[in-house]
Amino acid sequence: MAAQKLHADDTPVPVLAPGNGKTKTGRLWTYVRDDRPAGDPTPPAVWFAHSEDRKGEHPRQHLKNFTGALQADAYAGFHHLYGTGRIYEVACWAHARRKFYEIHAIHPSPTTSEALAKIAALYAIEDEIRGKPAECRREVRQSRAKPLIDELHNWMEKTVRKLAPKSEAAAAIRYSLSRWRALTRYIDDGRLEMDNNNAERALRVVALGRKNYLFAGSDTGGERAAAIYSLIGSAKLNGLDPEHYLRNVLARIPEHPISRIADLLPWNMTTVQSHTSQAA
């Protein structure tokens, strides 16, 4: 939460409802800090939090101490966070692109083809500057991506007027135009990403888990799952094998002083596990 930028997302998780043997829908929220694409050596981390529902009060509580850029989708529960200026919205081009891709996969048209091509050109620039310092990324985006962004905006405004108002392509264009400021903030700040894929990748492990354990046994179980997902996800982000990491922690923790619990966090265990693997 001390970061200047976070990626956020959420996903449903079935939770056993007490008393009736049925499941209700809980929520797992994920918050990812990963500034390596902007050349920042700060270790990455992911934090999962469980809630009983999807009310906007949960991200408000989770982010009460955070100040900076929140890269997220268009979920309405995040919108109230942007009113004070303490947190500002950075939208996701992957979501905007997906609107056109889903239409194109079923009913390809010159409009969807051109939209996908124009967005692909922006992503090609990002591929070239990933891992470069933030100021370098900003300069490249200003010189090369900004003209493409302006051209895309003009094309969308002209094209949407030619389409049937209720068409799917028109809806996809309006989705982008209505979020244009948030979608284009990354052009002016090299620390920001073009999309929210960091958070989406963090949630893949939850989707896999749902196929195996089916549901959490209670809300307390959901909280335990969130804690384990946080450790596993952070270990993976730091290049650790999650199973080896957890084995190492479990072996050390009985004799480990509580005052030095931070020693066992994934980014502080990277060197220890590397040496252990080499010895093995």
Q: How confident is the model at residue 216 (pLDDT cuts 50, 70, 90)?
A: confident
Q: What is the pLDDT of residue 273?
A: 56
Q: How confident is the model at residue 278 (pLDDT cuts 50, 70, 90)?
A: very low
CA max distance for the chain: 70
Q: What is the pLDDT of residue 279?
A: 46
Q: How confident is the model at residue 229 (pLDDT cuts 50, 70, 90)?
A: very high
Phi-psi region of 233 (alpha: psi -120 to 50; beta: other; left: phi over 0): alpha
Q: What is the pLDDT of residue 271?
A: 60
Residue 69: exposed, middle, or buried by beta-carbon count in 10 A (0-12, 13-18, 19+)? buried
Q: Which residues pair with 47 in a beta bridge?
A: 31
Average pLDDT of the chain, as a whole number: 92
pTM: 0.90
- 80, pLDDT greater than 70: yes
What's the whole-number mean pLDDT along residues 102-121? 97
Number of Cβ within a 10 Å radius of residue 85: 7
AA letter at 174: R
What's the whole-number mean pLDDT along residues 218-233? 93
In the chain the domains, ranked by start, together with CATH numbers, are 5-89+196-237 (3.30.420.10), 93-183 (no CATH)
Which two three-digit tokens encode residue 32?
A: 């990812």
